[in-house]
Amino acid sequence: MNRINLIVLALLFSVAAKAQFITLGSANGPAPDYAFSYYKLFDLNGFTGDASALFRIAILADDNYMNHAEYHLWVSKHSGTVNRVDGVALQFISGKPQMLEVIATETAVWIRAMGKWGTIRYETPINIGISQNGGAGWVISNQATYLEPTGYTIKSKNSFYYDYDNAKLYEYPSYNIDGSQITNTRIKTPGSGFQPSSGLNHSFTLSATNTNGILNMGVDGTGQINPNFYSWMQSTRNAGDSFYALSLNPLGGNVGIGTTRPDATLTVKGNIHAQEVKVDLNGAVAPDYVFEPDYSLMSLQELSDYLKEHKHLPEVPSAKEMEQNGVNLLEMNLLLLKKVEELTLHVIELERKTEKKGRRRFSKNN
């Protein structure tokens, strides 16, 4: 072994010797919930200079299920970048796959174990420009919470690299211990695929490996489309050139708009504005049977007596009943059609009687 190789080997051993694992904390909280613990691994903290770090993360969770794993997490920032990092990358190294989840924002990275009953540890074999002891500038943190952080850019359990400069996500293949590829869903951020309008900000894309369909979600953060801003959701093909159907609760369950307690398949608390509404009969019978010869039509005298007593049309719910139970549009529309058809028969009968009387007068006068 030549002298240069010996020097390189010595440097590698020197880096390894300096790096020591630091315990962030337990993978989960105490009883009774045993909620997963989220740890903020680092925070930009207003830092404006150059910085780069390699975090070596060890998950030591439940021994019964061999929930152990090792990951490498790279974070970098250039001095020309303001109020965000330039890139975050996660690489699964060894152990059980998908035992770590990374939640990254533009200024911080949170991590959590995917298995309980253990600890999360880390070391920084490469650390350039990052403060270990807090203070001004980018700092390594151990802030913990049992609530999932919000406002993140990327959340993933797979190996990935996210380029903040170009808003691009590169997800690398992950494999199980038996060599099979992991095909779990993942969340992507802007930069690839569907962009519905120049006036919309694309928040992220939800997709599944080996499928063409993706679900895009975002907000109008510019106010160009709507001065009051709004959020949007669109199902589309990966290429963004065609649209797919969007199904809510396809296996069952109610959906509520403006309410947290929907009592029907779709419950809306508020107004509905539509250009057209189509209602299936689903076994209900349209009242054309009114025109059958054997239909028993209530006489006008019987109808008059009923109205005097009940103050509403026969078969039609009273005002009090409608206030208490609401109105079924299918039933009410068919019922109103039936009353129109009955009214039509009465008009025809009145016209027939009027013509008959007219003919009698004419014949009597002549």
Contact 156, 73 (CB under 8 A): no
Give the span between the Cα atoms of 48 and 34, in whole angstroms.
Answer: 38
- Provide the pLDDT for residue 264: 92
329 burial level (CB within 10 Å; 0-12, 13-18, 19+): exposed
DSSP state, residue 289 = G
Reduce the DSSP state of residue 77 to 3 states and report it. Answer: strand
Using alpha carbons, select from 171, 168, 201 the residue that is nearest to residue 185: 171
- Provide the pLDDT for residue 338: 94
Using a cut of 0.75, tell me whether the model's pTM lies above it: no
The enclosing H or E element of 234 equals strand 231-237
- Provide the pLDDT for residue 337: 95
Half-sphere exposure of 47 (CA within 13 A, CB side): 29
Number of CB atoms found within 10 A of residue 236's CB: 20
- Provide the pLDDT for residue 193: 40
35 burial level (CB within 10 Å; 0-12, 13-18, 19+): middle
Query: Which stretches of the chain score pLDDT less than 50?
Result: 1-17, 132-136, 185, 188-199, 209-210
Cis peptide leading into residue 32 (ω within 30°): yes
